[in-house]
Amino acid sequence: MTTTAPSVLFVCVHNAGRSQMAAAFLTHLGGNRVTVRSAGSAPADTVNPAVVEAMREVGIDISAETPKMLTARAVEASDVVITMGCGDACPYFPGKRYLDWTLDDPAGQGVDAVRPIRDSIEERIRGLLTELGIEVRA
């Protein structure tokens, strides 16, 4: 049995929407039992304001988050890499578990369009925690 927390990296193009929501949900629901990273292949300057608002509605504040550039080091340091529309921009390292989550892109969308994306991400995060054997934090 491993004594280190599993590490998960979420990747999308701008790191301003889907990957930010996924990282926030995993941090919120998994606590310190999982290491969480997010990045983008072409990061935006800021997190999408509609995404910030949609997450605030469920009690998670990501207003201080900033998009980060995807690096080979981040991929290499992760056990699970979850892509969300980054295409071939994500480096591949043998021995990593890769998942691709097909989700609508919240870029340019209002909060009404972001809510169903947010809810789908939360559902997937809960499933991921179950797969990783991590109890969802209350």
Per the residue annotation, which of 12, 22, 55, 74 is the catalytic one? 12
Is 37 in the active site? no
Number of neighbours of residue 27 by Cβ within 10 angstroms: 19
Is 12 in the active site? yes
Per the residue annotation, which of 54, 82, 86, 114 is the catalytic one? 86
Cα–Cα distance, 71 to 50 (Å, whole number):
26
Token digits for 59? 């009690």
Per the residue annotation, which of 84, 90, 114, 117 is the catalytic one? 90
Is 35 in the active site? no
Active site residues: 12, 86, 90
